[in-house]
Amino acid sequence: MPGVAFAGSATWKASPLTGNWNAAGNWTTGRPPNAPSDVATFATSNKTTVLLSADIEVSGITFNSGGSIFNITTSSPVLTISGSGITNNSTKTQLFFASPNASNRTQLCRRQFHWF
């Protein structure tokens, strides 16, 4: 389909332009992961506060060994993790922030996460 971009699994860049999950240039594939089969991977980065500006659905989120501590924030858009869940291969605690809005639905799996 001309003019349609499809997402795919991707890794957050070491030096992304912004902290916006939805910005294509912040991901190694040039597209943010945003499909039920996609996995978002985080390693080391100079931008570790990641904000959602639109709804996102991924199968899972993986934090690589030796990676940075990330703060993933969604105040209004919905973050849906619909498959494999969250895997933290890092020794660091990862942080997720969500508003108390009932429309936000995020599943948490695995270990070493703080949910605010």
- pLDDT tens digit sequence for 50-99: 999 999 999 999 999 999 999 999 877 888 899 999 999 999 999 998 76
Q: Which helix (H) or strand (E) covers residue 95, if one does?
A: strand 94-98
- pLDDT at 101 (0 to 100): 53
How many C-beta neighbours within 10 Å does residue 88 have?
Answer: 21
Structural domain includes residue 4: no
Structural domain includes residue 96: yes
Rounding to the nearest 10 degrees, give the CA dihedral for residues 65, 34, 36, 115: 50
- pLDDT at 16 (0 to 100): 98
Structural domain includes residue 1: no
- pLDDT at 100 (0 to 100): 61
Percent of the chain whose predicted confidence (pLDDT) is above 70: 78
- pLDDT at 114 (0 to 100): 45
Residues sharing a CB contact under 8 Å with residue 86, sequence separation 6 or more, in sequence order: 60, 61, 62, 63, 94, 108, 109, 110, 113
Backbone dihedral region for residue 24 (phi beyond 0: left; psi -120 to 50: alpha; all else: beta): alpha
**Residue-range definition of the domain harbouring residue 100:** 10-115
Confidence of residue 104 (pLDDT cuts 50, 70, 90): very low
Q: How many domains does the structure of the chain reveal? A: 1
- pLDDT at 5 (0 to 100): 45
Structural domain includes residue 106: yes
How many C-beta neighbours within 10 Å does residue 83 have?
Answer: 15
Classify residue 80 by burial, with Cβ atoms within 10 Å: 0-12, 13-18, 19+: middle
Mean pLDDT to the nearest integer, 36-49: 97
Structural domain includes residue 5: no
Mean pLDDT to the nearest integer, 1-17: 74
